[in-house]
Structure 1
Amino acid sequence: MSTSILRAAVDRRLEPWFDHLGEDRIGYTNHVLRVLRLCDVLAAAYGFEPVPSEREEFLTSAAFHDLGVWTAGTFDYLAPSVDLAVAWLRDIARPDLIPVVTNMIGEHHRLRSAAAPSDRVEIFRRADAVDVEMGRLGRFGVSRAEYRRLEAEFPDAGFHRRLLQLGAKRLRTHPLSPLPMIKW
């Protein structure tokens, strides 16, 4: 899928929440796009057809996976993000994807593997981890050059800085639960 078509597909899902995203809109959208392209890279080893960025479960999971941060105003955002994705799937008459999308979003911050490496849930978890870590730690086979190429195509636009700000705020207000979205 071309970049312009992919961006339009992501924007179509995010458009109702552009006001909530505010100045973080470009950064979040580019994060979503990097995650989708990273899913494509990671899934290539398993012969996914069509590639993840062309599959509704990946498009929906990517678009909504962190959106609850902005729509619900919380760093404990997995449940609000799942709710947004479920509403989207119902609106487009794809309730068949609710279980897998719920799992993809709900498990995307698991520190250990969530499934087999070829499973959609695990591919998505790994792709998000690569981007959140900016390709520096566990890259799951994604080369530094490939990550830099994606970062050049879809610039950070302050996304990682915002994550640090939100994390620091959560630490100050909830010192005993600074990262409620993390699972073992």
Structure 2
Amino acid sequence: MSSNDLRDEVDRRLDPWLPQLGSDRVAYTNHVLRVLQLCDLLAGGSGPVPSTREEYLTAAAFHDLGIWTAGTFDYLAPSADLALQWLDQIDRPDLADLVVTMIDQHHKIRPAGERTDPIEIFRRADAIDVEFGLLGRFGVPRSTYRELAKRYPDKGFHRRLVQLTAQRIRTNPTSPLPMLKW
């Protein structure tokens, strides 16, 4: 799938949520695109690449969307609900359990399965991007991450995460990062 086709697929999923995303639309879209490209790199060469598979496209597009649609930093359940609505709309209920688990486990601190498991591939890809490719890159060269960041620039995504984290700490000091799982 070409870069433009991939962006079109992501946009198709996110378009209904333009008003909620507001000025963060490009930042979030580019995060989703970086995560999908990282999934492709982490998956290796067997079978169709993740960015062409509905489970990855759906999980990636919706995994953090609850931040904006539900207005909360405790966003895993609202994000999973949006993904379920999408899967119902496109008549793919067969992917529901996998996609919900991919979203629910994407901020798990420890591995979520074998390195070839879609849940673990997705978790690792998101971690690489959230950490700017500075910490665990799971074999993805730093230069490759930098190239992805040039192709799909940050546009304030990480700054927004810092702002949301600071806000959450002020309002919920005993639960600053509710999306993290052990």
Residue 41 (structure 1) shift: 0.3
Q: Deviations over 1:162-181 (max 9, x none)?
A: 00000000000000000000
- Between the aligned partners of 1:18 and 1:168, the Cα distance in structure 2 is 24
Per-residue deviation at 1:104? 0.3
> What does residue 54 of structure 2 align with?
56
Residue matched to 2:66: 68
Amino acid paired to 2:40: D
| 1:10 paired residue number | 10
Choose the corresponding residue for 1:87, options 77, 85, 88: 85
Is 1:117 aligned with 2:115?
Answer: yes
**Is structure 2 residue 178 aligned with structure 1 residue 167?**
no
What is the CA–CA distance in structure 2 between the aligned matches of 1:50 and 1:118, rounded to whole Å? 13
TM-score of the aligned structures, taking structure 2 as reference length: 0.99
What per-residue deviation string (whole Å, max 9, x for no partner) do you get for residues 68-112 of structure 1? 000000000000000000000000000000000000000000000
Specify the code of the residue in structure 1 equivalent to 2:24: D
Output aligned runs, 1:7-156, within 5 Å. Answer: 7-44=7-44, 47-156=45-154
3-state DSSP of counterpart to 1:166: helix
2 CA distance for matches of 1:114 and 1:4? 31
Instruction: Give the letter for the 1:9 counterpart.
Output: E
Which stretch of structure 1 is more off in the superposition, 47-56 or 19-28? 47-56
> 1:16: how far off?
0.3
Alpha-carbon distance in 1 for matches of 2:166, 2:46: 38
Aligned equivalents of 2:162, 2:140: Cα separation in 1: 24
CA distance in 2, matches of 1:49, 1:83: 28
Output aligned runs, 1:170-181, within 5 Å.
170-181=168-179
Task: Give the Å deviation of 1:49.
Answer: 1.7
Give a deviation string over 1:26-57, Cα, whole Å, max 9, x none. Answer: 0000000000000000001xx33210000000
Letter in 2 for 1:5: D
Structure 1 runs, 4 residues or longer, greater than 2 Å off: none
Q: Percent identity?
A: 66
SS in 2 for 1:110: coil
CA RMSD of aligned residues (A): 0.5
SS state at 2:34 partner: helix
Counterparts of 1:96 and 1:180 in 2: how far apart (Å)? 28
**Which residue type is aligned with residue 15 of structure 1?**
D
- CA distance in structure 1 between the aligned counterparts of 2:19 and 2:131, rounded to whole angstroms: 27
